[in-house]
Amino acid sequence: MTDAYAQRVRRLTALRGCDTVLSGVRPDSVAEQLATLSAMATDDALPDYYAEGGAVAELERRVAELLGTEAVAFFPSGTMAQQVAMRYGAELTGRTTVGLHPLSHPVLHERDAYAVLGGLRAISTTDAPRNPTAEEVAAVDEPIGTLLLELPLRDVGFVLPSWDELVAVVDAARAGGARVHLDGARLWESTTHLGHSLAEIAGLADSTYVSFYKSLGGHSGAALAGSAELVAYARAWRHRHGGTLFQQWPVALAALAGLTHELPRLAGYVAHARTVATALAGLPGARVFPAPPHTHQFRLWLPHPADALNDANLALAEQEKVWFVGGWRDTEVPGVATAEVTVAGPAAELDAGQVAALGERFLRRLPVD
Ligand SMILES: Cc1ncc(COP(=O)(O)O)c(C=O)c1O
C-alpha cells in the first residue's frame, strides 16, 4: 500500500465517522454500495455485453432523454470520451487543433493524451480564470478544429459563463469553422446558473460529455452525447481505446442510482452553497470565489499553511467527529492555502450560523503563531 493511499484511507475513514460534515459527502462502504446496486437491479434481465443492452443501454437512453440528443455512448472514463470527441472534430474539419483553456482537464490532468494519443495540438483560448469569451475565440489567429468549453471550469473554482456569454462563444467558434464540445463533467449542477435545461445547454454544442461519479456519486464512467454519426464513430474508437468492456453493469447501475436520487437534489445544493459561501467568507482572512458560487462547489482561501489546515481538519474529524473542509493546497502566496468546498447532502443540514460556528471551531485548532 502506498503512503498516499494509506493517507487517503485514513482521511476517508475519519470523514465516514463524522456526525457533522460541511464539505463533501460521507463515503459509502463496499457493502453499502452493493446494497445501492441491488436496489437498482429491478428484474432478472441479463447484464450488458460489450456495452450493449442491460443497464448500459438503459443509462444511455436516460442520458439521451435528459440531454435531448439523438444518441449517447457510455464510456469508462471522461478522459477517453473527450479524446474521441476531439478526434472526431479533427476528422470532420481537417484541423488537428483544439481550443483549450490552459487550466482545462485535458491540459492539466490527462498527461497530454490529446496530443500523445490523438496527435492533436492545443491552442490556448484565454489566460483569464474563466472560459473564453466570443471576442477571445474570434481573435485566435489559427483555425481551430474543436473548441472545448469546460462547464464549469473546475480548476479556477467551478466557474460558469452566463447563458448569453455561452451562446456568443459558441457562435464565434462556429463562425470560425470550429465544432463545439462541452466538457460537462459537472453539467448536471450548471443549469441553475445558466438558467437553461440540460437539453438546452447540450443543444448548443456538437457533442457533450457528462460524468457519473462526480456530483452524481457513481462509481466511475462517462457518456458522450450528440448526433447518431458522432456516437457510431465514438463506439468504434471506444473499442480501439480498449473501452468496450465485457460487462459494465455495476458502474451503469451506480450511475442510474445517481440520476434517480442525486440529480433531483443538486439544485437545492446549489442554492444552499450561496449561504455556506457567505458564512465562510466571514471567517478571519477568508476569501471565496466565485462569490456567489455558480454551482454547489467553490474555492475557499485561508491565510494559513496547507499542512496546518489539513492537520486541523483531520484532528477535528478524528477527535470530535466534525469535518470542515479537506484537501488544502498551498498557493503562490506564502502562508495562504486554498481548498475546494462541496456543498452536498450533509451540508444541507447546516444553517449560516452553524457554518460560521463550525469554521471558528476549526480555526481554533490551528497552532497559534
Ligand atoms: C472537468 C473534468 N473533465 C474531465 C474529467 C475526466 O474524467 P474521468 O476521470 O472520468 O476520466 C474530469 C475528472 O475529474 C473533470 O473534472
| Residue 367 pLDDT exceeds 90 | no
Q: How far is the CA of 239 from the centre of ligand 1 (A)?
A: 20
202 and 350, same structural domain? no
Q: Which of 364, 344, 346 is nearest to 356 (CA)?
A: 364
Q: How far is the CA of 337 from the centre of ligand 1 (A)?
A: 23
Q: What are phi and psi of 162, to 5 degrees?
A: -80, 170
217 and 188, same structural domain? yes
Degrees (nearest 5) of the Cα angle 259, 105, 313?
75
pLDDT (tens digit, 9 = 90+) per residue, 120-167? 999 999 999 999 999 999 999 999 999 999 999 999 999 999 999 999
Q: Which atom of ligand 1 is nearest to the CA of 75?
A: 10
* Domain contains 254: no
Band (pLDDT 50/70/90 cuts) for residue 43 is confident
Ligand 1 and 241: CB distance under 6 A: no
Tracing cell 478522459 back to the chain, one arrives at 79
Using the 3D structure, point to which of 247, 273, 294 is the last residue of a domain. 247
Q: How far is the CA of 356 from the centre of ligand 1 (A)?
A: 32
Band (pLDDT 50/70/90 cuts) for residue 369 is low
Of the chain, the end-to-end C-alpha distance in Å amounts to 35
Using the 3D structure, point to which of 197, 221, 247 is the last residue of a domain. 247
Q: Amino acid letter at 57?
A: A
| Residue 360 pLDDT exceeds 90 | yes
131 and 96, same structural domain? yes
The best mutation among 109, 114, 149, 208 to test binding of ligand 1, ranked by most ligand atoms within 8 Å of the C-beta, falls on 109
- Give the pLDDT of residue 26: 96
Question: Would you state the cell numbers that stand for residue 195, as one nine-digit string?
Answer: 438558467
* Domain contains 338: yes
Q: What whole-number distance in Å separates Cα of residue 266 and Cα of residue 287?
A: 24
| Residue 277 pLDDT exceeds 90 | yes
CA dihedral 49, 52, 55, 60 (to 10 degrees): 150
* Domain contains 124: yes
- For the purposes of burial, counting CB atoms within 10 Å of the CB of 264, is it exposed (0-12), middle (13-18) or buried (19 or more)? exposed
Band (pLDDT 50/70/90 cuts) for residue 42 is confident
| Whether 156 contacts 131, CB under 8 Å | no
313 and 216, same structural domain? no
* Domain contains 7: yes
Burial 132-162 (b: 16+ CB within 10 A, else e): bbbebbeebeeebbbbbbbbbbbbbbbbbbe
- Give the pLDDT of residue 201: 98
Three-state helix/strand/coil letters over the chain: CCHHHHHHHHHHHHHHCCCEECCCCCCCCHHHHHHHHHHHCCCCCCCCECCECHHHHHHHHHHHHHHCCCEEEEECCHHHHHHHHHHHHHHHHCCCEEEECCCCHHHHHCCCHHHHCCCCEEEECCCCCCCCCHHHHHHCCCCCCEEEEECCEHHHCCECCCHHHHHHHHHHHHHCCCEEEEEECCHHHCHHHHCCCHHHHHCCCCEEEEECCCCCCCCCCEEEEECHHHHHHHHHHHHHCCCCCCCCHHHHHHHHHHHHHHHHHHHHHHHHHHHHHHHHHCCCCCEEECCCCCCCEEEEEECCCHHHHHHHHHHHHHHHCEECCCCCEECCCCCCEEEEEECCCHHHHCCHHHHHHHHHHHHCCCCCC
Calculate the alpha carbon distances from 278 to 154, 176, 200, 306 in Å.
20, 41, 30, 22
- Give the pLDDT of residue 168: 98
* Domain contains 59: yes
79 and 19, same structural domain? no
216 and 124, same structural domain? yes
187 and 329, same structural domain? no
306 and 199, same structural domain? no
**Mean pLDDT across the stretch 364-369?**
85
- Give the pLDDT of residue 191: 98
Tracing cell 457562435 back to the chain, one arrives at 171
Q: What whole-number distance in Å separates Cα of residue 137 and Cα of residue 162?
A: 16
269 and 148, same structural domain? no
**Mean pLDDT across the stretch 354-367?**
96
Q: Residue 179 forms beta bridges with which residues?
A: 146
Q: Confirm whether pTM is higher than 0.75.
A: yes
> Which range of residues forms the domain containing residue 272?
3-29+264-363
Q: Indicate which CATH number applies to the domain containing 359.
A: 3.90.1150.10
Q: How far is the CA of 104 from the centre of ligand 1 (A)?
A: 10
pLDDT (tens digit, 9 = 90+) per residue, 295-331? 999 999 999 999 999 999 999 999 999 999 999 999 9
Question: What's the number of domains the chain is made of?
Answer: 2
* Domain contains 258: no
203 and 109, same structural domain? yes
24 and 79, same structural domain? no
Q: Indicate which CATH number applies to the domain containing 93.
A: 3.40.640.10
Q: Percent of the chain having pLDDT more than 70?
A: 100
* Domain contains 37: no
92 and 208, same structural domain? yes
pLDDT (tens digit, 9 = 90+) per residue, 246-269? 999 999 999 999 999 999 999 999
Ligand 1 and 185: CB distance under 6 A: yes
pLDDT (tens digit, 9 = 90+) per residue, 190-224? 999 999 999 999 999 999 999 999 999 999 999 99
Q: How far is the CA of 105 from the centre of ligand 1 (A)?
A: 6
- Give the pLDDT of residue 45: 79
Ligand 1 and 125: CB distance under 6 A: no
Ligand 1 and 211: CB distance under 6 A: yes
Burial 294-324 (b: 16+ CB within 10 A, else e): bbbbbbbbbebbbebbbebbbebbbeeebbb
Degrees (nearest 5) of the Cα angle 110, 113, 119?
155
Using the 3D structure, point to which of 247, 276, 299 is the last residue of a domain. 247
Ligand 1 and 79: CB distance under 6 A: yes
* Domain contains 256: no
